[in-house]
C-alpha cells in the first residue's frame, strides 16, 4: 500500500510539472530497487496510471475553463475559428496515435531513460533564448509539430507537457497560449485514457481499490497539492522562467545515468 501511495503522489504531482511524471515513476522504482527497497511497480494495477490522469483533467480543465468554455460555445454555434481549433486538435492527436503505434505496438528499441531526461532538459534550457513577436492562431503546421512532439513524449523521460510547450513557444505563441495548446491537444487523449483505464481495472476486478480510504485520500490530497503546484508553475511559465526547471532535471538525469 505504501508503494501505491508513493506512486500516486509522484504520478499526479509531477504531471503538473514539465519534467515527465512517468519518467520519475520509473526512476524512483529503479533507485528504490538498487537500494534494496521492496518497492515494486507490480503493486500498481493495470490501467491505474490512466485513471490517475483524471486528476490532471480536472486541474487543467479548471485552470483553462474560461477560454475552453468559450471554444465550446463557439463550436456549438458553428463559428469557424472554434471549429478549426477542434479539427486541428483532432489532427494533432491522430499524429500522436501514429507514434503510439510505432513505439508501443511495434517497439523498435529500448530507449534509455537518461536520454529522455536529457532531451527534456535541453528543450527547457533552450527556451532561455526565445524572443520575438507572439501570435495566437493555430495552423495545420502547428498541429503537425505539436502532434509529433506529443508522440515523441511517449518515450521514457521525455516530458509531454514540457516538449509540446517548448515547441509551441518556439513557433511564436505566447507562454500562456503555448501551455493552453499543449493541454488542449492532450486533454481528449487523457479523457480517453481515463475511460480505458477505468474499464481495464473494472475487467480485472481492481476498480474498487480506488474506494479504499488510503487510496482515495491519497488521490484527493495529491490532486489538491498538484493544483497549487500547477498554479505556481504557470506563474513561472508566464514570466518566461520555464528554462529554470532544466536545473532541477539535471538531478534525475544524473540518477538515470547511475541507475
Instruction: Answer whether residue 45 shows pLDDT above 50.
Output: yes
pLDDT digits (tens, 9 = 90+) for 186-233: 999 999 999 999 999 999 998 988 889 999 999 999 999 999 999 999
pTM: 0.92
Cβ–Cβ < 8 Å for 192, 201: no
Distances (CA, A) of 204 to 209, 214, 218: 11, 20, 22
Question: Exposure string (b/e) for 60-70, b if CB count within 10 Å is 16 or more?
Answer: beebbeeebee
Interval 57-75 mean pLDDT? 95
**Best CA proximity match to 241, nearest among 10, 12, 17:** 17
Looking at the structure of the chain, the number of domains it has is 1
| pLDDT at 35 (0 to 100) | 77
Element spanning 257, H or E: helix 245-258
| pLDDT at 131 (0 to 100) | 79
Enclosing domain of residue 11: 2-258
Residue 203 grid cell = 475487467
Cβ–Cβ < 8 Å for 12, 56: yes
Place of cell 521514457: 156
Confidence of residue 9 (pLDDT cuts 50, 70, 90): very high
| pLDDT at 161 (0 to 100) | 97
| pLDDT at 41 (0 to 100) | 46
Instruction: Answer whether residue 40 shows pLDDT above 70.
Output: no
The answer for 237, left when phi > 0, alpha when psi is -120 to 50, beta otherwise, is: alpha
Interval 103-128 mean pLDDT? 88
Instruction: Answer whether residue 108 shows pLDDT above 80.
Output: no
Residue 143 grid cell = 498541429
Per 3-state DSSP, the chain is made up of helix, strand and coil in percentages (nearest 5) of 80, 0, 20
- The helix/strand count (H/E) of the chain reads as 11, 0
Place of cell 493544483: 227
Which DSSP state fits 132?
S
pLDDT digits (tens, 9 = 90+) for 146-155: 999 999 999 9
Q: What is the mean pLDDT of the chain?
A: 92
Amino acid at each position: 500500500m505504501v508503494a501505491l501511495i508513493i506512486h500516486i503522489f509522484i504520478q499526479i504531482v509531477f504531471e503538473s510539472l514539465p519534467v515527465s511524471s512517468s519518467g520519475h515513476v520509473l526512476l524512483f522504482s529503479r533507485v528504490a530497487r538498487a537500494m534494496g527497497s521492496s518497492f515494486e511497480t507490480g503493486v500498481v494495477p493495470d490501467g491505474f496510471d490512466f485513471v490517475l490522469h483524471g486528476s490532471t483533467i480536472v486541474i487543467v480543465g479548471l485552470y483553462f475553463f474560461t477560454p475552453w468554455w468559450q471554444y465550446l460555445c463557439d463550436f456549438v454555434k458553428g463559428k469557424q475559428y472554434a471549429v478549426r481549433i477542434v479539427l486541428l486538435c483532432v489532427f494533432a492527436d491522430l499524429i500522436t496515435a501514429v507514434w503510439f503505434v510505432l513505439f508501443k505496438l511495434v517497439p523498435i528499441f529500448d530507449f534509455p531513460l537518461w536520454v529522455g531526461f536529457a532531451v527534456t532538459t535541453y528543450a527547457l534550457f533552450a527556451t532561455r533564448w526565445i524572443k520575438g513577436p507572439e501570435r495566437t492562431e493555430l495552423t495545420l503546421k502547428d498541429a503537425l509539430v505539436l502532434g509529433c512532439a506529443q508522440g515523441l513524449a511517449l518515450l521514457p523521460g521525455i516530458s509531454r507537457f514540457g516538449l509540446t510547450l517548448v515547441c509551441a513557444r518556439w513557433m511564436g505563441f505566447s507562454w500562456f497560449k503555448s501551455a493552453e495548446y499543449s493541454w488542449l491537444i492532450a486533454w481528449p487523449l487523457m479523457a480517453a485514457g481515463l475511460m480505458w483505464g477505468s474499464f481495464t481495472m473494472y475487467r480485472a476486478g481492481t476498480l474498487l481499490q480506488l474506494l479504499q480510504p488510503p487510496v482515495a485520500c491519497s488521490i484527493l490530497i495529491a490532486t489538491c497539492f498538484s493544483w497549487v503546484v500547477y498554479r505556481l508553475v504557470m506563474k513561472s511559465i508566464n514570466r518566461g522562467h520555464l528554462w529554470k526547471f532544466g536545473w532541477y532535471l539535471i538531478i534525475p538525469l544524473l540518477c538515470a545515468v547511475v541507475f
